[in-house]
Structure formats: structure tokens, C-alpha cells
Amino acid sequence: MSEYEIQTTDAPEEDGLVFAVTLRGDGSGTFADWQTVESWTPEDDVIWIHLDRASDRAQAWLRDQSGLSPATAEALLAEETRPRVFRGKTGLTTVIRGMNLNAGQRSEDMIALRIWSDGTRVITLRDQRLQSVRDVLAALVDHGTGPATIAETYLRLIARVNERIGPTIDAIEDQIDDIESNLETYDTSATRKSVADLRQRTVILRRYLAPQRTAMGELLSDPPVWAGDTWRTSFRETTDRVIGYVEELDQVKERALVIKDDIANEFAEKTNRTLYVLAVISAVFLPLSFLTGLLGINVGGMPGVANDNAFWIFSGAIAVLLVVEIAMFRYLKWL
């Protein structure tokens, strides 16, 4: 089974509490309910609390009962957030964006995951279902291979969210590769639309991943006091991965611009070729049209009016002139 196909547990959601898990310290965990969350103290087992940000009960608990400072609570509950790191009086807040893999939605409309911890518990908030969170939950509850400590939970969540971005970036690169390889055989109008859509997706993704790269760099350079020994090593890998994503998106953007220029140049070349053909045709028939127009005027004194062979003589002269013009154009390499 691929790491992107982990079977996830259906957590017992309860009025804004998507799930809560107490960590046993051996990679496994046990589900907890609202009562456990509300009565939890630092002397109890470490706990991971995952909340629905839109829930009134979750918002009230976060503001009034969680023990978080008002600034931290409001940062976690903010409507629109960009990836960033926020250090409060009691803990570390990280806001990152993950791929939207929900049915019927665009993956590039990335979902915000808000993570806070003070070393004794982890609180996360979501706007929509995020599969990366379910992956870590399944490792804890179903497989017993999850994080053993709060620091590991923090690391695993951020790493998993960033790992799931990879397939989307790969798909975009495969798409631009396919367009470049078949540019001459594809329909030009369809290709222009595909390139425009690809550039739009790239811009949306980069808008989130660029600040996410900065946030990862901050966590790497200035870890919290409760960070474990593997913090820097793990975050260096995650940071390098996000840096790679941004660089790949930049390359895709540049390649899309090159393809767009190639398509525009092809259009211009076709237009110029058409105009050239029309110009040559006009040049060929201009003298012929002048002569036929001149001899077609209805005035007295027209030569050949009384000669029955005048029409054929004139037609022969026109044909000779046509042959001379074509020979001259070929000599000048206009044809």
C-alpha cells in the first residue's frame, strides 16, 4: 500500500471536536472526548486535540478554557491566514497549507492547518477535512507507528502536509512535459487554454508555498525549547522539500511562458505566410486586372472591336504576361 493510500480511522467527532488522542509514548494513542479535553491538566498524558474552527463550542473553549493567550487564540481562529510562524507567551503557532483532496474541489485551493503547542499538548484547527491529518491519526490509532512525543507530533504533521503536496507538483510537471513534447501535434487553441490553466494553478500554489518555505526556514533556524534532538534534521528535510516545490513551480511558470511565446510565434508565422501568399496573388493579377479593366471601358475607339479574333489575341497576350510574371517571381524567389 502506498503511503498516500493509508486507511484512516473514522474519528468520533463531537460538537466541534473532530478528535482528541492521548499519546502513550510508544507510537500509539487512544481517543478522548470533550470531557477529557476540558479536564486535561499538564500532569496528564500528552494529548493532541483537533478542532473544527467553524464550531462555536470549539471557539469558545479555545478563547476561554484552553489557557491560550487572547492573541494566540485569535491567530488560530483567523478567517484568512497565510503560512507563518507565531511565537506567543506560552507556545508556538504554525500555520501551513495542505492540498485540498476533498471530492469535487480543486487541489490547488489549499486548506489551512493551524498548529499550536507548548510541549505538553498539541492543538490543531482545520477549515475542511485534511487528509494529511488523517494519515498521522491512522498511524497513531490504527497502526501504532505514530509519533511518541509532542515534538514528534508537531514534526510529523508538518512533514506529512508537505509530503502530500508532492504528487500535485509532479502532476503539473508531467502536464507541462506532455505539452512540450506534443506541441506541434496538439490543437493550438486547446494548448493555449491548457497552458493558461496550468499557469493559473502554478500561481495559486506558489502564493501559498512561498511563505510556507519561509515559515519552514524559521522553524529550522529557531526551534522551540521543547524540540527534540531530531527536530533540526527532520525540519531540514521538510524545508528542502518545500524549497524544491517552489523552485519546480518557478520552472513550470517559465516553461509555460516559453510555450506561450512559441504558440504566439506560430500564430504570427501563419498569419505572415497567409499575408505573403495574398500579396503574391495580388501582385500577379494586378497587371492583368488593369489590362482587362482598361479594355472593358465602353467608349468609342476601342481597338479590336471590328476584329473577330481580337478576344483570342488578347487572351493569348494575357496568358503570356502571366507566364512572364510567374517566371520573374521565381527568379526573384518570391514564389
Which tens digits make up the pLDDT trace of 59-77? 999 999 999 999 899 989 9
Mean pLDDT of the chain: 87
Question: For residues 82 and 189, which has the higher predicted lDDT (pLDDT)?
Answer: 82
Q: What is the pLDDT of residue 216?
A: 94
Q: What is the pLDDT of residue 1?
A: 36
Structural domains of the chain, ranges and CATH numbers in brackets? 3-264 (3.30.460.20), 295-331 (no CATH)
Mean pLDDT for the stretch of residues 249-277: 86
Answering whether pTM is above 0.85, one says no
Reported as a pLDDT band with limits 50, 70 and 90, residue 80 is confident
Judged against a pLDDT cut of 90, whether residue 159 lies above it is answered with: yes
Mean pLDDT for the stretch of residues 182-191: 76
Question: For residues 258 and 332, which has the higher predicted lDDT (pLDDT)?
Answer: 258
Q: What is the pLDDT of residue 189?
A: 75
Mean pLDDT for the stretch of residues 85-111: 88
Judged against a pLDDT cut of 80, whether residue 275 lies above it is answered with: yes
Q: What is the pLDDT of residue 335?
A: 66
Q: What is the pLDDT of residue 11?
A: 65
SS (H, E, C) the chain: CCHHHCCCCCCCCECCEEEEEEECCCCCEEEECHHHHHHCCCCCCCEEEEEECCCHHHHHHHHHCCCCCHHHHHHHHCCCCCCEEEECCCCEEEEEEECCCCCCCCCCCCEEEEEEECCCEEEEEECCCCHHHHHHHHHHHHHCCCCCCHHHHHHHHHHHHHHCCHHHHHHHHHHHHHHHHCCCCCCHHHHHHHHHHHHHHHHHHHHHHHHHHHHHHHHHHCCCCCCCCCHHHHHHHHHHHHHHHHHHHHHHHHHHHHHHHHHHHHHHHHHHHHHHHHHHHHHHHHHHHHHHHHCCCCCCCCCCCCCCCHHHHHHHHHHHHHHHHHHHHHHCCCC
Reported as a pLDDT band with limits 50, 70 and 90, residue 104 is confident
Judged against a pLDDT cut of 60, whether residue 99 lies above it is answered with: yes
With beta carbons less than 8 A apart as the criterion, state whether 52 and 16 touch: yes
Quick one: what percent of the chain has pLDDT higher than 70?
94
DSSP strand pairing (17-23 vs 29-32): antiparallel
Q: What is the pLDDT of residue 9?
A: 54
Which tens digits make up the pLDDT trace of 4-54? 344 455 667 888 999 999 999 999 999 999 999 999 998 999 999 999 999
Rounded to whole angstroms, the Cα distance separating 166 from 205 reads 12
Q: What is the pLDDT of residue 4?
A: 38
Mean pLDDT for the stretch of residues 279-288: 81
Q: What is the pLDDT of residue 273?
A: 83
Judged against a pLDDT cut of 60, whether residue 284 lies above it is answered with: yes
Which tens digits make up the pLDDT trace of 203-235? 999 999 999 999 999 999 999 989 988 888 888
